Amino acid sequence: MGLVGLHSGTIDMEFIGVEDHGDEEGKQIAVSVISSGKNADKTEDPDSLIFTGFGGTDMYHGQPCNQKLERLNIPLEAAFRKKSIVRVVRCMKDEKRTNGNIYIYDGTYMITNRWEEEGQNGFIVFKFKLVREPDQKPAFGIWKSIQNWRNGLSIRPGLILEDLSNGAENLKVCLVNEVDKENGPALFRYVTSLIHEVINNIPSMVDRCACGRRSCGSKHVFREKLSVSSSLVISAKKSGNVARFMNHSCSPNVFWQSIAREQNGLWCLYIGFFAMKHIPPLTELRYDYGKSRGGGKKMCLCRTKKCCGSFG
């Protein structure tokens, strides 16, 4: 986290120095916190966070005591009074590793309230409520939803079919519609291998793979200026895999590319999808259906800043 500038401290809070203008408690202000350990929030609300203050142990005798507005609690108090933005990182247990943790950067928050209450040991602790700033892409919220879906997909909003592949894939392929009430295709067969016509001769084929070297020995060849008959159609209307249900976007993060692959001495056409840019985890993959210039037959629901309103 320190390398990417999220959190450089060795404790669960990072603060910076500021001009105090005579305010002794304003010399330092919190800029980021990690919700973990004794400071962790137990509610796991994706839109807010209750952060427990620091202290509560006598530094000389190691005995429990009341938390005080001193040391590391002062930067948190300053951020609350000055209404400054605080970066939040959520720490969750990694179920696949005994002593492992997963750290999720959850965006910027603002401390909206601070109070004192009696802790489990009977001593006073400080509590800080942080509320997530609006218009941010969900992070911890998505992760939490996926954890809940693993326990039972029936609670997932817009669920049409729990496993479209009917057990053909190692992981369940959910069919979900969170936009309207349209159901999935009535007659659809999930396939794990391509069903195609074998083409004996493909004109204008360039014998070059993705590495850029000619005749490198690879059997995956990307075509350039491939000229084929207009009657050749690769359709996933009645059969296909998970890529068949990828949504359209006027600002896509992947693009499709036709690929010719050698199979038993013959050429077969495939469709491949490739990232256009860095795609963060849990981000929906979308591509341009090909006519995102407005005036199309179907209304576009991608909701991006460059949305043309229609496509097709």
Indicate the pairing of strand 159-161 with strand 239-240. unpaired
Whether 48 and 113 have beta carbons less than 8 Å apart is answered as no
Strand 124-132 relative to strand 48-52, pairing: antiparallel
How far, CA to CA in Å, does 117 sit from each of 55, 81, 128? 14, 19, 11
Residues 6+ apart with CB under 8 A from 62: none
CA distances from 96 to 99, 103, 143, 177 (A): 9, 14, 15, 30
CA 110 to chain centre: 22
Sheet holding 85-93, edge to edge: 13-17, 28-35, 85-93, 101-118, 124-132, 48-52
Token look-up 């043309």 returns 308
**Residue 246, amino acid:** M
> How far apart are the C-alpha atoms of 88 and 153, rounded to whole Å?
29
Measure the N-to-C terminal CA separation of the chain; round to a whole number of Å.
43
Binding residues for Zn(2+), as ranges, are: 250, 300, 302, 307
User: Binding-site residues, please?
Assistant: 250, 300, 302, 307
